[in-house]
Structure 1
Amino acid sequence: MKAVLDGVVIAEADRDDVVSIEGNWYFPPRAVREGALNESPTPYTCPWKGEVQYWNVSLDGAELADGAWSYPDLRPGAVERVGTDFAGYVAFDRKVVVSD
């Protein structure tokens, strides 16, 4: 699967390595291109997943503020609810096209 913003591939992984949660595809950290994400200070906490780390996407001219997010430290029960450990996995804003 690929995550593409303005024609630039931001992340790429086998479908078996990504996790679908609530309509979003979460890519393992190793699938995200080096240097594509920069930490954002935007705060948010999901009631069942935990505290979010937002990321600004910036790579090869493609830019999107708060265009990605991850959950570095999952709340108890989150892994059981999803069926797999997705701590640190990265999901993308809808402006980033994710496809097979």
Structure 2
Amino acid sequence: MAKAIWNNQVIAESEHTEMVEGNHYFPKDSVKTEFLRPSDTHTTCPWKGEASYYSLEVDGELNEDAAWTYPQPKDAAANITDHVAFWRGVTVTV
């Protein structure tokens, strides 16, 4: 089981993640959305499309842009539709 942990809190937990470029993408329904805060940040990947970011808030601490998703990925990345990945100090254990 893969887990995404930040600030001693499990943010996401799933038996089935998608691995892309070394990142675990968790199904959105396995993510504890109460810790996600929408961000205005967007980036573009040439083969995945436009990413939208979330900041994480746990126990009053904010980790800006620590999660991202591709709301409408390009066909080559269709497997990460409705999935969320993490970075910036978020530990993913398997």
TM-score (norm 1): 0.85
- Which residue number corresponds to residue 18 of structure 2? 19
Identity of counterpart residues, as a percentage? Answer: 41
- Which residue number corresponds to residue 5 of structure 2? 4
- Which residue number corresponds to residue 40 of structure 1? 39
- Structure 1: where are the runs of 5+ without partners? 80-84
**Contact (CA 8 Å) 2:63, 2:88: kept in 1 or not?**
no
- Which residue number corresponds to residue 70 of structure 2? 71
Note if 1:55 corresponds to 2:49.
no
Instruction: Give the letter aligned to residue 73 of structure 2.
Output: L
Quote the RMSD (CA, aligned, Å).
Answer: 1.3
Q: CA deviation at 1:35?
A: 1.0
Moved over 6 A (4+): none
TM-score (norm 2): 0.90
In structure 1, what is the Cα distance between the partners aligned to 2:6 and 2:41?
20
**Contact (CA 8 Å) 1:44, 1:51: kept in 2 or not?**
yes
In structure 2, what is the Cα distance between the partners aligned to 1:63 and 1:42?
15
Distance 1:43 1:34, change over 3 A: closer
Q: CA deviation at 1:40?
A: 0.5
In structure 1, what is the Cα distance between the partners aligned to 2:76 and 2:12?
27
SS where residue 52 of structure 1 aligns? strand
**Contact (CA 8 Å) 1:35, 1:59: kept in 2 or not?**
no
- Which residue number corresponds to residue 91 of structure 1? 85
Q: How many residues align?
A: 93
In structure 1, what is the Cα distance between the partners aligned to 2:93 and 2:25?
12
